[in-house]
Structure 1
Amino acid sequence: MGLMAREETRTTQPTTVRTSATDPAVDVASDAQGDAQAAAMRAPRAWVVRLVVVAIVLSALNLRPAITSLGALLEEVRDGLGMSGGVAGLLTSMPPLCFALFGGMAPRLARRFGPSAVVCAGMLAITAGLLIRPYAGSTAGFLAASALALMGIAVSNVLMPVIVKRWFPDRVGSMTGLYSMAVALGTAAAAAVSVPMTDALGGNWQSGLALWAVLAAVAVVPWVPLLRDRGAAPDARGAASTAAKAPASSAGRTPAREEAAAPVRITRSRTAWALAVFFGLQATAAYITMGWMAQIFRDAGVPASTAGLLLAVTMVMGVPLAFVIPRLASRLPHQGPIVVALGVCGLAGYAGLYAAPAAGAWAWALLLGIANCAFPLALTMVGMRARTGVGVAQLSAFAQSTGYLISIPGPILVGVLYQSSGGWGLPIALMTGLMIPQMVVGVLAGRNRTVEDEAAR
């Protein structure tokens, strides 16, 4: 596996250290060298790094099936539970609502219990929620169980960029691409096979939804050996490099230590706000697509199984692009051109969905799938717009929590507009209008700067 880090060789040779009461720089340099040696001694074994990669991929596969499996079977769920259009709109707005409410808790929980333990608990919550909600027997119970699963997704959403930054600080782009590709694959798989799987189970939508709990249960397993990981920087190479290269400080501390110890006043950063709004608007488009696009095609005369497949095509576009876009973005000083290109694809997809939803269904599904790759781009920018692990954790929590708060009204408003107007003209006009500010704030968030520098000013 090319992405795996090789096991570091432990250093056993003694180091000669000179001390001088008149030359404090010697002491500081010795401290830095000692830090580098200590970091090398703490280098994780190769199998641990491989296990982290497996855990990240399996967890990423479970971050969207709870949503897209419901989108593919929304009509059956509405009929089975007697939901109105407004309540269905609330249901499709639950993901961003829960992500906003529970995502902000993730950094605090991670500091207390460790990121691995929190993500492991998140996978358990997803398993329980997906298993309980189809058999809750009422709309209120269905919503409550969905909230449990979404809570697990929320904390995992926030901590995934943190885990990537900690374990793979020199490969943020490629690892974010791998993680985003797994998210897209899980999203597409749930959209594609939920309807056929339900048909194979005799048309029982409860069983069709509950089966996704098995995938979440599998994702718990690789995190169990990592539960004791509570350290601040398990990647010894990054720590050793920082300690060895850091200049001496008159206080006897390296700059890396000072940055790691200082929290970032994230709300003072314009880039953080731009990234939060960009995240919110792309999430609005994504959850409207996941919750309603299959229904748009079905109302245009497309069979239910084909509509689910079209949604799967939209989601599966993120599999290759979610790997390519973060790698490309990490090589560019400014990610604005990528933001604009994705936005143009979204505008074209919405225009086609309005003019000829059935005739050009496959083309519109492809274009909207490309536009939805703003999500891995946003995750990549989270890792690029902060220098330290503390900064990434704060920026990830702030951008995702604030962004998901922004995205809450979108799916609800689409449901209300659809029910009140009896068609999809107004909802599609809303989706199109939101794409313009998404492109603007995305360009601002893509500028080459860090939140630490902006907050300091």
Structure 2
Amino acid sequence: MTQPSLESAGKRAFVLVCIVLLALNLRASVGSVGVVLTDIIDDLGMSPTTAGILTTLPVVAFAVVGSLANAVVRAIGLHTTATVALATIAVGLASRAFVDSSTVFLVASAVSLAGCAVGNVILPPLVKLHFPDRIALVSSIASAAVVGGATLSAALTVPISEAAGDNWRWGLFAWSILAAVTVLPWLRLLGHDVRSTDGDTRIAIGELVRAPLAWAMALCFGCQAAQAYAQFGWFPAILEDAGLDDAHAGAMLAILTGIGIPAALLLPALIGWTGRRPWILPWSFAVLTVVGWLGLLWWPAEAPWAWALLLGVGSTAFPWVLTMIAKRARTHEGTVALSAFVQGIGYVIAALGPFGTGVLHDATGGWAAPAAMLMALAVLLGIFGTYVARPIMLEDQLPGGGAAGRGPR
């Protein structure tokens, strides 16, 4: 492989910084709200129904808007889409920080989440386009940045609010500043945008529906996302029911999410280590998750940090799936289409995690049934992940071998 020149290396480093900054913004809208939700409800007079809608809005937006991202990229280009997504996030976050209506707060939140949804989808094709020789490494870095953004927004929103006179509005507004500043470096990439102008390279939704790889990857993504959102929403509640105070339970959730950052960064080495046995990784994620839920169910108060670590490392399935999206398509167009399909379907399935956990807990009065459901999803992750890990290319499963697959490699 030819070594890039210093100029090209510099450009690649700049693009990497842009991708990392984009990824940092993709969960701030979610992470910043949960920690001040009680204050928001009180100040805006938000009803329990509206609060429930607010907590389920992320997965709905990620599913609905994410499925449309492919059309947006085709229309305006990949770099322009990233820039517009960040601007949308900034506008939504800034708007919701200073409204006095719960309805307007919901609308502004939906706007910011729409930008996040598009950003979610374009991460794999951005990695594929700019780092085709470093897909696993850069995907892992981007995924770590996504987790880092969620962790930072959850950890810093309250301190920022307290520093601003115990005002939650400034805590939320701070993240709009990050998004607005991130737009600036992306403006430099607009003159080198990438869009598909050849209709023969476009992949229609009807073609993806008939590709087993697309469905296996969507189901795999959905199973891991359901786990993640169930953990974000219910992990502290399970520990509190076991007798831990809310501060201790919150610290355990921080361990669960924080461990995902180094775990994601180790993923390229793990992919290389598994070599010709790629199925080891999805099944490792599945086993770690099952053991984590069993420990949380049977001995929640004895070693909560251990279950947090196991579930957190099991969540490395997220960067692994993102890496596979970039690896399982030959072209830029194929990666965009696959990412939109996988995340559009996957986030619909993801709603089963937090919603199903709540329903089963209410119906049974305990955590055994929800844990069983989540363990079953973990096993499905291993099954579908085994298929995704095989060296199958999307374009080979499209009608006629995939016209897009005959484009430049």
TM-score normalised by structure 2 residue count: 0.86
- The answer on whether the counterparts of 2:225 and 2:346 sit within 8 Å (CA) in structure 1 is yes
Q: Please name the residue that 1:270 is paired with.
A: 212
Corresponding letter in the other structure for 1:194 = T
1:327-360 CA-partner distances (Å, limit 9, x unpaired): 5336735532111111111112212222333432
Please say if 1:328 is aligned against 2:291.
no
Please say if 1:343 is aligned against 2:286.
yes
Does 139-148 or 386-395 show the bigger shift?
A: 139-148
Q: In 1, distance between residues paired with 2:295 and 2:42?
A: 29
Give the deviation of 1:185 after TM superposition.
Answer: 1.5
1:356-404 CA-partner distances (Å, limit 9, x unpaired): 3343221121111111111100001111111122211111111111111
3-state SS, counterpart of residue 100 of structure 2? coil
Q: Please name the residue that 1:282 is paired with.
A: 224
Q: In 1, distance between residues paired with 2:199 and 2:285?
A: 34
Q: 1:261 to 1:46 in 2, by over 3 A?
A: same
Corresponding letter in the other structure for 1:165 = K
Q: Please name the residue that 1:413 is paired with.
A: 356
Give the deviation of 1:195 after TM superposition.
Answer: 3.9
Q: Please name the residue that 1:104 is paired with.
A: 67
Q: 1:423 to 1:190 in 2, by over 3 A?
A: farther
Q: Please name the residue that 1:316 is paired with.
A: 258
Please say if 1:94 is aligned against 2:76.
no
- The answer on whether the counterparts of 1:124 and 1:220 sit within 8 Å (CA) in structure 2 is yes
**What aligned pairs does 1:53-452 form with structure 2 within 5 A after superposition?**
53-81=16-44, 87-231=50-194, 261=201, 263=203, 265-329=207-271, 332-333=275-276, 335-418=278-361, 424-452=367-395
- Specify the structure having the higher radius of gyration (Cα): 1
Give the deviation of 1:270 after TM superposition.
Answer: 0.8
3-state SS, counterpart of residue 359 of structure 1? coil
Q: In 2, distance between residues paired with 1:295 and 1:136?
A: 30
Q: In 2, distance between residues paired with 1:401 and 1:330?
A: 29
Corresponding letter in the other structure for 2:211 = S
- The answer on whether the counterparts of 1:71 and 1:291 sit within 8 Å (CA) in structure 2 is no
Corresponding letter in the other structure for 2:90 = T
1:203-257 CA-partner distances (Å, limit 9, x unpaired): 4333333322222222111101112222359xxxxxxxxxxxxxxxxxxxxxxx9
Q: Please name the residue that 1:28 is paired with.
A: none
Q: In 2, distance between residues paired with 1:298 and 1:133?
A: 31
3-state SS, counterpart of residue 135 of structure 1? coil
Corresponding letter in the other structure for 1:436 = V
Corresponding letter in the other structure for 1:283 = A
3-state SS, counterpart of residue 266 of structure 2? helix
Corresponding letter in the other structure for 1:329 = I
Corresponding letter in the other structure for 1:122 = A
Q: Which runs of 5+ in 1 are unaligned?
A: 9-44, 234-256
Q: In 2, distance between residues paired with 1:334 and 1:67?
A: 36
Give the deviation of 1:110 after TM superposition.
Answer: 1.6
3-state SS, counterpart of residue 119 of structure 1? helix
3-state SS, counterpart of residue 235 of structure 2? helix
Q: In 2, distance between residues paired with 1:423 and 1:91?
A: 25
Corresponding letter in the other structure for 1:219 = T
Corresponding letter in the other structure for 1:210 = F
1:245-275 CA-partner distances (Å, limit 9, x unpaired): xxxxxxxxxxxx9998363722221111100
- The answer on whether the counterparts of 2:78 and 2:195 sit within 8 Å (CA) in structure 1 is no
3-state SS, counterpart of residue 211 of structure 1? helix
Give the deviation of 1:196 after TM superposition.
Answer: 4.2
Corresponding letter in the other structure for 2:201 = A
Give the deviation of 1:325 after TM superposition.
Answer: 1.4
Q: In 1, distance between residues paired with 2:397 and 2:148?
A: 36
Q: 1:89 to 1:298 in 2, by over 3 A?
A: farther
CA-based RMSD of the aligned residues comes to: 2.9
1:134-184 CA-partner distances (Å, limit 9, x unpaired): 433343223222111111111111111111111111111111111112112
- The answer on whether the counterparts of 2:286 and 2:378 sit within 8 Å (CA) in structure 1 is yes
Give the deviation of 1:277 after TM superposition.
Answer: 0.6
Q: In 2, distance between residues paired with 1:56 and 1:107?
A: 18
3-state SS, counterpart of residue 263 of structure 1? coil
Corresponding letter in the other structure for 2:93 = L
- The answer on whether the counterparts of 2:44 and 2:102 sit within 8 Å (CA) in structure 1 is yes
Identity of aligned residues (%): 38
Q: Please name the residue that 2:406 is paired with.
A: none
Q: In 2, distance between residues paired with 1:72 and 1:294?
A: 12
TM-score normalised by structure 1 residue count: 0.78
- The answer on whether the counterparts of 2:76 and 2:195 sit within 8 Å (CA) in structure 1 is no
- The answer on whether the counterparts of 2:255 and 2:312 sit within 8 Å (CA) in structure 1 is yes
Q: In 2, distance between residues paired with 1:187 and 1:411?
A: 17
Q: In 1, distance between residues paired with 2:45 and 2:367?
A: 22
Q: Which runs of 5+ in 2 are unaligned?
A: 402-409
- The answer on whether the counterparts of 2:216 and 2:384 sit within 8 Å (CA) in structure 1 is yes
